[in-house]
Amino acid sequence: MALDQVITEFDKALRAVFAPAHSRRPLPGGDKPEAELSEAERRHVAGLMRIDHCGEICAQALYQGQAIASPSVALKKNLAAAADEETEHLAWTAGRLAELGSRKSLLNPLWYMGSLTIGVLAGKAGDAFNLGFLAETERQVERHLQGHLAVLPAQDQRSRAILEQMKEDEIGHSRMAESLGAAELPGAVKLAMKVTSRLMTKLTYYV
């Protein structure tokens, strides 16, 4: 990799983890009133949003790693477009955390580096596997978001609107990968992805 590309990729990583993210689309649920939440409910919602924000950090790293390793210019463009939407998700979840008086995960740099490495490995396995990994990641994120929607306090419509739009976007990314020729991943790979995701969510809820 040329030095200028190394600098560019390092800059992407720093921006994803440390710089404020921005969104071109309006904040989902931004027109809804803030819900009356107990202190326990507020902490719970903040924990869920911290997980979702961290998941978007990981998505940025995965897409970056996959694009670095893929020889396909067309696939790189599709990954960049998906990453752009994920940047909006970063902005939405970070904003909601601030509204809840909470913070982002302290483990974000660690998860970013791990996800970047996984993305590079997926990219080196070939475009069909690369797309399959993208599709499976988005399917698992979709189920994960559905689980969060199921346990949100009913009155918290601001958080719900954010998660519902994120879920819709993830479904779109998965379908995009499938339309481009995503391969079905081996069961062992899917299981490893689920186990890693569970570890990340359990730690990030608190840290």
What string of H, E and C letters represents the secondary structure of the chain? Answer: CCHHHHHHHHHHHHHHHHCCCCCCCCCCCCCCCCCCCCHHHHHHHHHHHHHHHHHHHHHHHHHHHHHHHCCCHHHHHHHHHHHHHHHHHHHHHHHHHHHCCCCCCCCHHHHHHHHHHHHHHHHHCCHHHHHHHHHHHHHHHHHHHHHHHHHCCCCCHHHHHHHHHHHHHHHHHHHHHHHCCCCCCCHHHHHHHHHHHHHHHHHHHHC
Residue at token pair 């902490």: 43
Any idea which of 56-70, 87-101, 143-157 has the lowest mean pLDDT? Answer: 56-70
Any idea which of 49-58, 67-76, 113-122 has the lowest mean pLDDT? Answer: 67-76
d(CA 104, CA 28): 19
Average pLDDT, the chain: 89
- Tokens coding 140: 């698992």
| Residues annotated in a binding site for Fe cation | 56, 86, 89, 138, 170, 173
Task: With a cut of 60, say whether residue 3 has pLDDT above it.
Answer: no
| Residues annotated in a binding site | 56, 86, 89, 138, 170, 173
The predicted structure's pLDDT at residue 102 = 96
- Tokens coding 18: 């440390």
**How confident is the model over 44-62, as a mean pLDDT?**
93
Confidence of residue 96 (pLDDT cuts 50, 70, 90): very high
Checking 80-84 for CB contacts under 8 A at 24+ apart, the result is 82/134, 82/173, 82/176, 83/59
Query: Whole-model pTM?
Result: 0.90
